[in-house]
Amino acid sequence: MRAEAGTPGWRIGVIGGSGLYDFNGLEDAQEIAVSSPFGEPSAPVTIGRISHVHFVFLPRHGKGHRIAPEAINARANIDVLKRCGVTDVLAISAIGSLREELPPGSFVAVDQFIDRTHGRTDSFFGEGLVAHVSMADPVCSRLAGFAADAAIAAGAAVHRGGCYLAMQGPQFSTRAESRMYRQWGADVIGMTALPEARLAREAELPYALLGMVTDYDSWRDGEHVEVADVLRVMAGNTALARETLMQLAALLPIERPASLIDRALDSAIMTASAQRDPVLVAKLGAIAGRVLG
């Protein structure tokens, strides 16, 4: 089934994390290189559809996992997805667990973040064009709900809700850090969701993150993270992730109701029109052209 002409439909941008470097099963699939004024994105995008849902897939680490977490150009990635006309963004990421009840192999529909990254460019705005968006609720609950339902339909064990601690990396946590993050109330840990989620909000794109648990991080006595163990669990998680995307297409309704996040910039711009940097305004054409005129 397809949406009728003029009916708002779904165009889901999928950011594939570790282990998810392609999206097989798309109809009319084609790979396209899309440029961004914010630099090079991680890879060309793959555009296609499943039934009435259009997808734009982008591997966060590039093909073959060539880009380290701290080197990902998240601004370019989000800008490119916006230029491709996506309505919503679903990130699928490998994560570590900070809770016994979130074992390796399970999925977590994240709903909050703690930022421990540094040195990453975390906004499209800045000197010459200042804007402030709300991040109180950083995840789109509607999309997260659909993603959780789809993962369950695919056969995954899913936990709805969880706080994601974004660490700098590329090294894994020390045991002391891992235990401290648990005390802070974090449930899972990863290296890539921020500034990605912040930038999606500035781009007025509802964002959800479905985390695939690969390990228990370093907080349990006598245990630590090894890449070999992560890769072994990741193989099974990746197959479930691909099936989850197929199930998501089946679950999404034909029409896409508007979201408040679609207008996140309505009252966010602080800089007076006459004082705006024209170079930055031009760069923000895809991200903020709706409010900048």
Active site (catalytic) residues: 215, 217
Nearest to 124 by CA among 195, 44, 45, 206: 195
- Let me know how long the chain is: 293
Q: Which amino acid is at 108?
A: V
**Spatial separation of the C-alpha atoms in residues 15 and 58, rounded to whole Å:** 5
Q: Which residue has the tokens 């601004």?
A: 75
φ/ψ region of 62 (left if φ > 0, alpha if ψ in -120 to 50, else beta) reads left
Task: Tell me which H or E stretch contains 237.
Answer: helix 227-251
Phi, psi of 216 (to 5 degrees): -100, 25
Q: ∠ CA 212-16-19 to the nearest 5 degrees?
A: 60
**DSSP letter assigned to residue 104:** T
